[in-house]
Amino acid sequence: MRRLTLTGDPAAVVEALRAFAPPAEEVRAAVADILADVRARGDVAVRAQSLRLDGVHLPAAYAVSAQAMSQALAAMRPETREALSQAAANLRAYHERENTAGRWRLTLPAGQVVGQEVVPLAVAGLYVPGGLADYPSSVLMTVVPAQVAGVGRVVVCSPPRPDGGVAPGVAAACALLGVGDLLPIGGAQAVAAMAVGTATVPRCDVIVGPGNAYVTEAKRQVMGEVAIDGLAGPSEVLIVADEHADPAWLAADLLAQAEHGAGAMAALLDVGGNLGDVVALEVDRLASEVGIAADNVAVVACPDTGTALALVNAFAPEHLELHVSGASELVPAIRNAGAIFVGPYTATAFADYVAGTNHVLPTGGAARFAQGLSVVDFQKRISVVELDRSAACALALHVAAIAEDEGLRSHARSAMLRTE
């Protein structure tokens, strides 16, 4: 565990905390080669890369069948199925509230009608990490907002297991939500297949979901020919706490992020500087108990709440927990965070699974300009304009004045013709 002290400008502390997740420059060339291979050879490349990178030999028809998904759901523990169903219901309620601003029209003073049409994307590609792990929660977090948005076809890609299928929880969650397309492919080859399309994988309009460095780099390289939700990096949390916070709770919440593995970062912003020693002891005790390392955990001593919040806004964390008196009153002061967890009972783990908000969030400081996965990521807005003769006459002289100054005489003529 690292111990830091914040006294003034937060930049140095931000740099120290970001050092937990150094960039992997060597990934870029490897991903470019995989993308080029999939573009050139399609499914043949997807299968070859899966054999090379995952050690799995996929058959020619490698899509997971609806029967296999249904069998995985039937085999799931009843309590897990019930929990996933409740989580899906909460997510759907949250994202349906997001989806309330639909099509609209407004008549402006000159008489022209302007407005907006909201059109769902046709095909969404959803990446669900896997490999040795099983993340049905990531299926819910990506599929539900796509369905609420009205996406026509949802395609899920997740790394293959040795038998050629996907993790059973992922397959079960797809069956629970009625997903028809589940492909046992992962890594950059999955992103490439969704971006360019193959005989098996439909070409997608958007690719969303978290993944490792290769998945993230692949999304960066295909961005522009397909939409993406963002470039997710290792998980991170900042916890602002004062002397009233429970050290055991703080330690558990810190390690809940640290256990995400390489590059993950968890930091306690110790307001007043009184918690560091006792929390460090709790972190060491719990880390030993659950068998994980605490090398990526830090405690930053902060003189007051204002200084801590300045560090929060400079760092722009993926997750922000507020374990301080009057936590809800501090929310308006937070400009940069992927998600805010208000009060000591609101552990990040609740939103990771069942609270209802989405756990696909901006990392690496991207919360300065980005937001968590939402219905908007699966829709496009089309502007609509309608003028009658009266509105055209009212606006044409203004068009002509600007167009003439810009040297675009045909623009001016196009508008003025409507007045003759």
Q: Where are the domains of the chain?
A: 2-21+233-355, 27-105+118-228, 387-419
Burial class of residue 61 in the structure, from the number of CB atoms within 10 Å of its CB (0-12 exposed, 13-18 middle, 19+ buried) = exposed
What's the CA gap between 188 and 157, in Å, rounded? 11
- Concatenating the DSSP letter of every residue in 392-404 gives HHHHHHHHHHHHH
**Same fold flag, 2-21+233-355 and 27-105+118-228:** yes
Give tens-digit pLDDT for 206-248: 999 998 889 999 999 999 999 999 988 889 999 999 999 999 9
pLDDT of 2: 86
340: left (phi over 0), alpha (psi -120 to 50) or beta: beta
What's the CA gap between 402 and 399, in Å, rounded? 5
Structure tokens that stand for 51 in this block: 């054999």
pLDDT of 102: 80
Query: In this structure, is the dihedral angle defined by the CA atoms of residues 232, 56, 258 and 355, taken in order, positive or negative?
Result: positive
Say how many CA atoms lie within 13 Å of 377 toward its Cβ: 29
Place of tokens 């290769």: 214
127: left (phi over 0), alpha (psi -120 to 50) or beta: beta
Query: Considering 217, 236, 282, 318, which one is annotated as catalytic?
Result: 318
E strands, 104-233, where?
A: 104-107, 113-120, 123-127, 153-157, 181-183, 206-208, 227-228
Superfamily (CATH) of domain 27-105+118-228: Nitrogenase molybdenum iron protein domain (3.40.50.1980)
Burial class of residue 329 in the structure, from the number of CB atoms within 10 Å of its CB (0-12 exposed, 13-18 middle, 19+ buried) = exposed
User: What kind of fold does domain 2-21+233-355 have according to CATH?
Assistant: Rossmann fold (3.40.50)
Three-class DSSP category at 404: helix
- Concatenating the DSSP letter of every residue in 18-86 gives HTTS---TTHHHHHHHHHHHHHHHTHHHHHHHHHHHH-----SS-SBPHHHHHHHHHHS-HHHHHHHHH
The answer to whether residue 329 is catalytic is no
pLDDT of 351: 95
Contact in structure between 285 and 304 (CB atoms under 8 Å): no
CA 22, distance to chain mean position in Å, is 20
Residue ranges in the chain whose pLDDT is less than 50: none
What's the CA gap between 143 and 33, in Å, rounded? 29
The angle subtended at Cα 183 by Cα 45 and Cα 88, nearest 5°, is: 150
Place of tokens 């490349």: 45
Structure tokens that stand for 84 in this block: 């996933």
pLDDT of 32: 95
The angle subtended at Cα 185 by Cα 182 and Cα 186, nearest 5°, is: 120
pLDDT of 98: 85
What's the CA gap between 173 and 419, in Å, rounded? 60
The answer to whether residue 319 is catalytic is yes
Query: Considering 217, 236, 282, 319, which one is annotated as catalytic?
Result: 319
Contact in structure between 86 and 114 (CB atoms under 8 Å): no
Contact in structure between 298 and 3 (CB atoms under 8 Å): yes
Q: How many residues belong to the chain?
A: 420
